[in-house]
Amino acid sequence: MTVTVRPLADEELPAAWELGRVAFGGPATAPEWALRPLPGLLRLGAFDERGRLVGKATDTGHEQWWGGRRLATADVGGVSVLPEHRGGGVARALLTDLLARGRERGAAVSALVPTVSAAYRRLGWEVVGALQRAELDTAALPSDPAPGVRVRPGEPADLAVVDTLYETLARPRAGLLTRRGGLFDLPHQGRWPGGVDGVTVAEQDGVPTGVLVYERGTGYGPEARLTVHQALAVTAEAARALVGVLAGWRTVTRTVRLPLLAGDAVAGVLPLERSPEGPGAVFMHRPVDVVRAVADRGWPGHVRGRVAFTLLDPVVAPNTGPWELELADGAGELRRPDREPALLLDVRGFAQLYCGVTTGRAAALAGLVSGPGDPAALDLLASGPPAQLLDYF
C-alpha cells in the first residue's frame, strides 16, 4: 500500500488521538494538549489513497544531555498503525520521514521506548538500556540520621526545584532528557500535575539538595503502595534524609516503587537487593546524523585516538559510507577517510557503542561488526559513559 506522510493538521488531531487510543488502550477523552499544536512537537500522519489516516508518529521535541552538552534529537513517541494495515510498511514510511525531517532541522540522535523492538531494529534502532526501578518493602528502608538536613513538605512552586536538581544530575551523564521542549514546557498552572499528590524537599543551609515527587495511591492495607515519580539528591546526606522520609510511610503503605538512576546518591542508600522488581521498559537509540552525533556531544577528556570504519544505515543514506572518528581533549570529529576502512559497522552497532553499552569485539560477536580489522579499535566510539533514561515517552 502506498501512503502519503505529512504533518497532521489541527483538525486531524482528534482522529490521531483515537488511533493512539485504540492502539495503546488510552482514555476515550483526550487531554487538552493532545488536541492542539505544541511548539517543538511534530505530529506526522500516514494517509492512504482515499485520504484516510492509517498511522501516526510523533517527534517529541526533546533534547538529551551528553557529557555536559545538549544534543538535538528526533526522539519518537506514539507510533500507531490501524490494525488492518500493520505489517504493510506504514510505520517504516512514517519513521523514515520523521528521521529525514529531524536531520534537516539539526537532530543528531533518536531514542524511543518500543512496544516491539524487532520493527525498530529493521530501521536501525537498537536496545541500549532500560528504565530502572525498584519496589521495596517500606519497612526495610533505612532511617539513618542525616545531620544538617531539613525536610519540609513542598508546594507546586517547588517543581522548579525538581527541574534544577534533575539538571544537576543529568547534565554530566549520557542520554538523559533535558526535560525542555514539547510536553515538558506545559505549565502546571499553580497546582500539582496529574498523578502527583505531593512533594518532599530536603534542604541544607537553606539550599534544596534533594526532592521526592510522589503519588499516594489508595488504601492502607497490604495492597497499599507509594509511587515515587522523582527521587533526586545531590548530596549523600540529602539522599539519607529522603529515604528516611520514605521509611516513615511504613505505617500506611506496605511497598514503595521508585525510579533508579545508576550511580546516584539515592541508589546508594536503598537496599536494592530486596527488590523483586526487574528493569522497566527498554529504550532504543540510533544516530540521525552521525557527524552531529559525534561533534555535538561531550566526550571523556582523557581519551584520544582514531578509528576508521564503514557504516551501514538502511534508512538514513547520508550516514552510510566510510568514516574516520577522532577524539581528543573532550571533543570528537567524524570525517571521510582517505583510504578504505578495514571494519564494517552496522548502524545498530554504532548505536550500542555510542551509548557505551558494548565493546567492539562484543559487537562483532553479535554480528554488528565485520571485516579484517580488529573490532577492539571501535572501543574508542564506546569511550563515553553508558546511556541512561528516566522518562517514559
Q: Regarding predicted confidence, which is higher, 382 or 184? A: 382
Predicted confidence (pLDDT) per residue in 215-225, tens digit: 999 999 989 99
Shared-domain flag, residues 314 and 361: yes
- What is the spatial distance between Cα 274 and Cα 256, in angstroms, rounded to a whole number? 12
Shared-domain flag, residues 250 and 318: no
Shared-domain flag, residues 356 and 259: no
- What is the spatial distance between Cα 142 and Cα 144, in angstroms, rounded to a whole number? 6
Q: What does the CA dihedral 346, 348, 350, 354 come to, rounded to 10 degrees?
A: -170
The number of folded domains in the chain is 3
- What is the spatial distance between Cα 267 and Cα 75, in angstroms, rounded to a whole number? 27
Grid coordinates in use for 344?
Answer: 564494517
The reply to whether 24 falls in a domain is yes
Taking the model in full, what pTM does it have? 0.94
The reply to whether 169 falls in a domain is no
| Pick from 93, 94, 211, 95: nearest CA to 157 | 211
Shared-domain flag, residues 97 and 149: no
Give the CATH number for residue 14: 3.40.630.30
pLDDT band at residue 97, thresholds of 50, 70 and 90?
very high
The reply to whether 323 falls in a domain is yes
Grid coordinates in use for 175?
Answer: 542520554
Q: Say if residue 341's pLDDT is above 70.
A: yes
% of the chain beyond a pLDDT of 90: 93
Contact 254, 138 (CB under 8 A): yes
The reply to whether 179 falls in a domain is no
Cross-strand partners of 307: 325
- What is the spatial distance between Cα 109 and Cα 54, in angstroms, rounded to a whole number? 27
Shared-domain flag, residues 222 and 302: no
Q: Say if residue 245's pLDDT is above 80.
A: yes
Positive or negative, the Cα torsion across 31, 35, 39, 43?
Answer: positive
Which among 225, 248, 274 is the end of a domain?
274
Q: Which residue has the cell 482528534?
A: 14
At residue 194, the pLDDT reads: 83
Give the CATH number for residue 297: 3.30.1050.10
Length of the chain: 393
- What is the spatial distance between Cα 232 and Cα 166, in angstroms, rounded to a whole number? 7
Alpha-carbon Rg for the chain in angstroms: 23
Contact 367, 294 (CB under 8 A): no
Contact 177, 63 (CB under 8 A): yes
Q: Say if residue 190's pLDDT is above 70.
A: no
Q: Which residue has the cell 522520609?
A: 245
Least confident of 48-52, 149-153, 277-281: 277-281
Amino acid residing at 280 = G
The reply to whether 33 falls in a domain is yes
Domain extent at residue 346: 290-380
Shared-domain flag, residues 315 and 209: no
The reply to whether 23 falls in a domain is yes
Contact 275, 257 (CB under 8 A): no
- What is the spatial distance between Cα 193 and Cα 218, in angstroms, rounded to a whole number? 18
Which among 91, 107, 123 is the end of a domain?
107
Contact 255, 274 (CB under 8 A): no
Predicted confidence (pLDDT) per residue in 32-86, tens digit: 999 999 999 999 999 999 999 999 999 998 999 999 999 999 999 999 999 999 9
Give, as one character, the DSSP assignment of residue 286: E
- What is the spatial distance between Cα 266 and Cα 349, in angstroms, rounded to a whole number? 32
Shared-domain flag, residues 256 and 302: no
Contact 62, 176 (CB under 8 A): no
Least confident of 42-51, 53-62, 131-140, 271-280: 271-280
Map residue 282 onto helix, strand or coil: strand
- Angular region, 329: left φ>0, alpha ψ -120 to 50, beta rest: left
Q: What does the CA dihedral 344, 348, 349, 354 come to, rounded to 10 degrees?
A: 120
| CA 64 vs CA 94, 129, 175, 267, 277: distances in Å | 22, 15, 5, 22, 27
- What is the spatial distance between Cα 27 and Cα 58, in angstroms, rounded to a whole number? 19
Shared-domain flag, residues 80 and 146: no
Q: Say if residue 14's pLDDT is above 80.
A: yes
The reply to whether 122 falls in a domain is no
Map residue 79 onto helix, strand or coil: strand
Q: Say if residue 197's pLDDT is above 70.
A: yes
Q: Rounded mean pLDDT of the chain?
A: 95
